[in-house]
Amino acid sequence: MKTASERRAALNRLVESRTVTRVSPPLLLPAGPFFDLAGEEFGRALLLTTASTGIEYCLRPDFTLPIAQTYIEDGLVGVPAAYTYLGTIFRQQDGLPVEFEQAGLELLGQPDAGNALDQVLTFARWALAIYDINAPFVRLGGVGLFESFLAAADISPAWQARIRHRFGHPDAMARVMERLSIPRERNAVEAPDGREAVIEIVTDAMLQGGLSLVGGRTPEEVADRYIEKQALDAAPLSDGTLQLLQDYLEVEDSAPAALDRIWSLTAAAGLDIEEPIQIVRNHAAALQALSPKADVIFDASFSPRLDYYTGVVFEMTNDEGEVLASGGEYDRLLDRLGASQPVPASGCALWVDRLEQEATR
């Protein structure tokens, strides 16, 4: 068994390979991008402070977002780049500040996105091997596969967006599925013509009711929610499509068996999503070859709770379900940070403290 110092030396060698650039983003970062891109749930874990200018900052809670921002700010969009890191992140846990050590790899702008993801999976697997973890539980998900399924199925754009935004959030997805399963009568009242007309009606109603137009939900927000609801009610899913969606989300098995099941379900419904299914198959097979003793499961309902993920995603966990490594493809992040062109991106994060605990058990 390796000593702690030997494991640390091996991990340092992994993150300081000649083919990558090791980086260390600042400890204090603007909090705004984390709220905007990682969402309210992640925002509650931030450790915040406010500058005299009124701008909120946070102790570094993550490496991926600042690395992606720097890549764009340095004018590297369109240039292949590979970054590694090893350092401390800071978050709240049970109301208390906690420090964690993380290591990871981020591959940005690589010409072969599939190969980049396999490199990320290999990096994660090598890292676990340093800590003598040779048979992890691996859970794969397919964000891109699910989006292809939604696009191919008989589902309106409004419902596609609503379902997609709740993908990976079991409680929120359950509420959507419940709403879809309840028959609804069409509203017999003719809706106002156009968004501006709806805003006018809402504004008048708020004023007549003595409600302020500032400090709460604005007339524009209320109007947009009303228009969205009308669009959803006007395009309910058929019973067959709803059942297909439920069957899809319930698929969880060894990767080959799960993907065979999804192919059978979709082919029987006349949907052609063979290409995205094959993409997941290829990565699952590569990962299984890397880790012959690992349990590689495909969970059709699995996705990180960050909606900038786009393709194959994964978690590697211990027997108790603690995440040791996680990541995947996140092409949407660079676009949302203002990249001038699409940038393929793959990466993973390793929870070094948990890896150390596993190695000493």
Tokens of 300: 């059709």
**74 within a domain of the structure (yes/no):** yes
Q: In the predicted model, what is the mean pLDDT of residues 40-64?
A: 91
Domain boundary among 213, 233, 253: 233
Q: Tell whether 242 is covered by a domain.
A: yes
Between 319 and 139, name the one with better pLDDT: 139
Residue 248 belongs to a domain: yes
CA distances from 28 to 40, 49, 59, 60 (A): 19, 9, 5, 6
Q: How confident is the model at residue 227 (pLDDT cuts 50, 70, 90)?
A: very low
Q: Any binding-site annotation on 71?
A: no
β-strand 137-142 against 295-299: which pairing, if any?
A: parallel
Confidence of residue 263 (pLDDT cuts 50, 70, 90): very high
Write the CB contacts of 28 (distance below 8 Å, at least 6 apart in sequence): 49, 57, 58, 59, 60
- Claim to verify: residue 66 and residue 106 sit in the same structural domain: yes
Is 308 among the annotated ligand-binding positions?
yes
176 and 163 in contact (C-beta within 8 Å)? yes
pLDDT exceeds cutoff 50 at 344: yes
Q: What is the structure's pLDDT at 352?
A: 97
118 is in an annotated binding site: no
* Gap between the Cα atoms of 224 and 243, Å rounded: 29
User: Residue 151's domain is classified under what CATH number?
Assistant: 3.30.930.10
Residues 165 and 144 in one domain: yes
Q: What is the DSSP letter of 194?
A: S
Domain residue limits at 73? 1-133+343-361
Q: Name 84's bridge partners.
A: 22, 105
**Do residues 81 and 55 share a domain?**
yes
Q: What is the pLDDT of residue 194?
A: 65
What local confidence, expressed as pLDDT, does residue 206 receive? 56
Same domain assignment for residues 97 and 129: yes
CA distance 79 to 101: 29
Contacts of 24 (CB under 8 A, 6+ apart): 85, 87
Q: Taking 70 as the threshold, does the pLDDT of residue 76 lie above it? A: yes
Claim to verify: residue 157 and residue 200 sit in the same structural domain = no
Residue-wise DSSP of 290-359: H-TTSEEEEETT---S-TT--SEEEEEE-TT--EEEEEEE-HHHHHHTT-SS---EEEEEEEHHHHHHHH
Regarding whether 144 and 269 lie in a shared domain, the answer is yes
pTM comes to 0.85
- CA dihedral in degrees (143, 146, 147, 153; nearest 10)? 180
What is the number of domains present in the chain?
3
Helices (H), the chain: 4-15, 32-43, 64-73, 113-130, 143-152, 157-165, 170-181, 195-208, 219-233, 239-249, 255-268, 274-290, 331-336, 352-359
The answer on whether 63 is annotated among ligand-binding residues is yes
Measured CA to CA, the distance from residue 140 to residue 348 in angstroms comes to 13
Q: Using CA atoms, how far apart are residues 339 and 109, in angstroms rounded to an integer?
A: 11
Residue 102 annotated as lining a ligand binding site: yes
Beta-bridge mates of residue 48: 58
Q: Is residue 308 part of a domain?
A: yes
Q: What is the mean pLDDT of residues 332-345?
A: 95
pLDDT tens for 103-156 read 999 999 999 999 999 999 999 999 999 999 989 999 999 999 999 999 999 888
- Is 106 annotated among the ligand-binding residues? yes
Same domain, 81 and 158: no
Give yes or no for residue 235 having a pLDDT over 70.
Answer: no
177 domain-assigned: no
Do 213 and 159 share a structural domain?
Answer: no
131 is in an annotated binding site: no
